[in-house]
Amino acid sequence: MSSEEKRDEIAAVVEPVFRGGPLWKRPAGKVLIIWVPMTIIGLLLAFFAPGHLFPENMSAEQEDVKTTFILFTALAAPVAAVVWGIALYSIVGWRKKSGKSDTPPEDGPPIRGGTIATTIWLGTSVILVVVLLVWGMAELSSELAPQQNAMQVNVTGQQWQWTFSYPGTGVTSTQLIVPEGRQIHFHVTSEDVTHGFWPVQLGVQIDANPNVTTLISATPNKLGTFDVRCSQICGLNHAYMETTGTTVTQAQFNAWLVSHGASATSVHSYAMSAK
């Protein structure tokens, strides 16, 4: 393709959009005027809304969820603003006006065949998809990577209660107690219907399926209590299938196991088994 043909192709795509006097009077300029503030609003929501909408961060995973939400929203903001900018301009600028002819305006040139416009659109889309894919795969890989000090907790859902057991200690409880700073491997199952194990402030969630054991991991990094809820509609009292979990120090965790019937030997083995 010669340089003149390239110029003609660019002009065929760009000129109909940008012709018509000053920028703010052209279709592209009007869309741009809408796009800029909407993008700014989207970015402000991306960076400031999570601090007010997200539950308290009590694990490394919850911190990663918040960071991922911020990144994905920030990347989506300018794209969404383009779509909304074009839609709003179309609604306002091309609506039927009183006293005007019912004849619609002439269509502009098709984008199909416009190499420049198509390349920009596809190139931007590919870059965004690749960034999001790489980020998502990296986060998933880091979440599933086992740590040296990991420990196991068995989680069982039944209508409408959670039960937590600590293998090798003989301790079973309806409250979830975990030590700070250790990766917890939750082995999750159900005795009846499908439930959803969701320790809210730990930032993880997985289905509890009957006759199947699923695995999810979290590393609590802050002392205090957190909510444990069911995230799958599981029957009449689904909304009441919740309890509390508590993150304690390792010494407090060991003492709690002993107070619930575990022997000192089993507690020591449980505490050291994954180190």
Pairing of strands 151-158, 184-190: parallel
CA angle 138, 132, 115 (to 5 degrees): 140
What is the C-alpha separation between 71 and 37, in angstroms, rounded? 19
Domains of the chain: 3-95+112-144 (no CATH), 151-272 (2.60.40.420)
Which whole-number Å values give the CA distances from 58 to 40, 222, 266, in the listed order?
30, 5, 28
Side-chain half-sphere CA neighbours of 99 within 13 A: 0
pLDDT of 275 = 45
What are the pLDDT tens digits along the chain (275 aa)?
566 666 655 555 555 555 555 555 666 777 888 888 888 998 888 888 877 777 778 888 888 888 888 888 888 888 888 888 888 888 877 776 666 666 766 766 666 666 776 777 788 888 888 888 887 777 766 666 666 678 889 999 999 899 999 988 888 988 899 999 888 999 999 999 999 999 998 988 899 999 899 998 888 988 999 999 999 998 898 988 988 899 999 889 988 888 887 787 777 766 666 44
Q: What is the pLDDT of residue 107?
A: 67
Q: Which long-range contacts (CB under 8 A, 24 or more apart) does 249-255 make?
A: 249/179, 249/180, 249/223, 250/179, 250/180, 250/181, 250/182, 252/179, 253/177, 253/178, 253/179
